[in-house]
Amino acid sequence: MIGTKIGFDLGTSTVLAYVEGKGIKIKEPSVIAYDTFTQKTKAIGAEAYKMIGRSPDSLTVVQPIRNGTVYDYDAVQIMLAYYIQKICGSQIFKPNVIVSVPSQVSELDKRTILDLATTSGAARACVIEEPLVAARGANIGKEFRGTMIVDIGGGTTDIAVITGGLVALSASIKVAGNSFDESICRFARYEKNIEIGLVTAEKVKKDVGAVKSLDAELAVRAVGKDITTKMPKTVEITSNDVFEAVKADVDSIVENIRLVLQETPPELNADISVNGIVLTGGGALLRGIDEYVENKLGIRTCCAENPVDCVINGIGYYLKNMDELEQNGYVFKTYQDINDFEE
Ligand code: ADP
Ligand code: MG
């Protein structure tokens, strides 16, 4: 195939792009800001993230991927076209693109993504399931032995059993990093009488968040609005507060992992009890979450190295070893192929 090979991980929170032979070239928040009246794009990525909750009415700030699927078609197209242009510049040949999708997305959603990629500057595009590439990125799951991957992203947690390089079974739930942020906001409101924004809650979570008792408790100051006086107010939020706030969400993730394990056939189930569970995605960075899952389920659990990069690194592997993809039935399609398929 002629043309640069690029892989995209279009996450709810983060967009990453991997360029074959060069590595990760884009890692930006999945946010776009445009003029409400003229629709003209004002900012993409980190610049747009700074505007969340702070924009005037004349500016619309959107996170165009929600719960792992395309929520705002036009915004995703603008974002993809922008990054493809940034990577390829004035190259003559259009690039070939792999885009990862959550394992639960419908055929229609897959088509939408292929369509988006090929109308955003890709010559050919191919979609591939996230748990599979996450497993590749974490360097597991190639043999015919069951391994479990739990990817805790922004909008969804994807739970998958991988064997022989393919997804044997999977589930996707809408409890993930964003839910933790919302729960921290709720906790602040009811326990500290303060209204804080989601961006502040996310920062609190990253700075001091834990689901275990830390030897030295961490604390951070959060600024928001006093519920009673409606005036600015500062409170201290500790790692224990975050634990209390997000415990129910993490328990819900654990119970969904249990459900998938209960559905898993005996040989694979036995493999997982030996191989353990690997956590990926940004949510895996919550302090102590691996220990928490391990204690609740009695199965060895660890956080992958660089959990946020697992999916994109896995895509990077497949960009280099496309024959492996083809052997497993994945095909690259042109815009024409996709539209013929429609008829
Ligand atoms: P997606 O693939 O859905 O874009 P990511 O894998 O990038 O998601 O993970 C994003 C989520 O991980 C967000 O909810 C973010 O707040 C959370 N996150 C990132 N870093 C940390 C951290 N250090 N501690 C806890 N959560 C984190
Ligand atoms: Mg992801």
The fold for domain 5-132+310-342 equals: Nucleotidyltransferase; domain 5 (3.30.420)
Under 8 Å between Cβ of 224 and 195: yes
Q: How confident is the model at residue 2 (pLDDT cuts 50, 70, 90)?
A: confident
Whole-structure pTM value = 0.93
Q: How many helices (H) and strands (E) does the chain have?
A: 12, 18
Ligand nearest to the CA of residue 13, numbered in listed order:
1
The tens digit of pLDDT for each residue in 18-30 reads: 999 999 999 999 9
Pocket test for ligand 1, best of 150, 279, 305, 308 (most atoms within 8 A of CB): 308
Q: Concatenate the DSSP letters of all residues of 274-294 into one string.
A: HH-EEEESGGGGSBTHHHHHH
What does the pLDDT read at residue 190? 97
What does the pLDDT read at residue 26? 97
Under 8 Å between Cβ of 140 and 302: no
Residue with tokens 């933790």: 180
What does the pLDDT read at residue 69? 83
Mention the CATH class of domain 177-245.
alpha beta
Rg of the chain, C-alpha, whole Å: 21
Atom 14, ligand 1: residue with shortest CA distance = 177
Instruction: Please state the atom number of ligand 1 nearest to the C-alpha of residue 177.
Output: 14
Asked if the domains at 5-132+310-342 and 140-175+246-308 fall in one CATH topology, the answer is: yes
One CATH from 3.55.10.10, 3.30.420.40, 3.40.50.800, 3.90.1660.10 for 140-175+246-308: 3.30.420.40
Of the candidates 127, 131, 94, 97, the residue with the CA atom closest to the CA atom of residue 112: 127
Ligand 2 centroid to residue 11 C-alpha, Å: 5
Q: Residue 342 above 70 pLDDT? A: no
**C-alpha 86: how far from its chain's center?**
22
Instruction: Give me the mean pLDDT over the 40-56 stretch.
Output: 95
What does the pLDDT read at residue 100? 93
- The end-to-end CA distance of the chain, in Å, is 26
What does the pLDDT read at residue 341? 54
Q: Which amino acid belongs to residue 178?
A: N
- Domain ranges for the chain: 5-132+310-342, 140-175+246-308, 177-245
Instruction: Give me the mean pLDDT over the 81-100 stretch.
Output: 94
Residues with CB under 6 A from ligand 1: 11-14, 30, 153-155, 177-178, 202, 205-206, 209, 281-283, 285-286, 308
Report the percentage of the chain scoring pLDDT > 90: 82
Under 8 Å between Cβ of 195 and 188: yes
The tens digit of pLDDT for each residue in 298-316 reads: 999 999 999 999 999 999 9
The tens digit of pLDDT for each residue in 164-175 reads: 878 899 999 999
Using alpha carbons, list the distances in angstroms from residue 92 to 84, 85, 337.
Answer: 13, 12, 21
Instruction: Give me the mean pLDDT over the 51-58 stretch.
Output: 92
Q: How many residues does the chain have?
A: 343
Q: How confident is the model at residue 258 (pLDDT cuts 50, 70, 90)?
A: very high
Atom 9, ligand 1: residue with shortest CA distance = 282
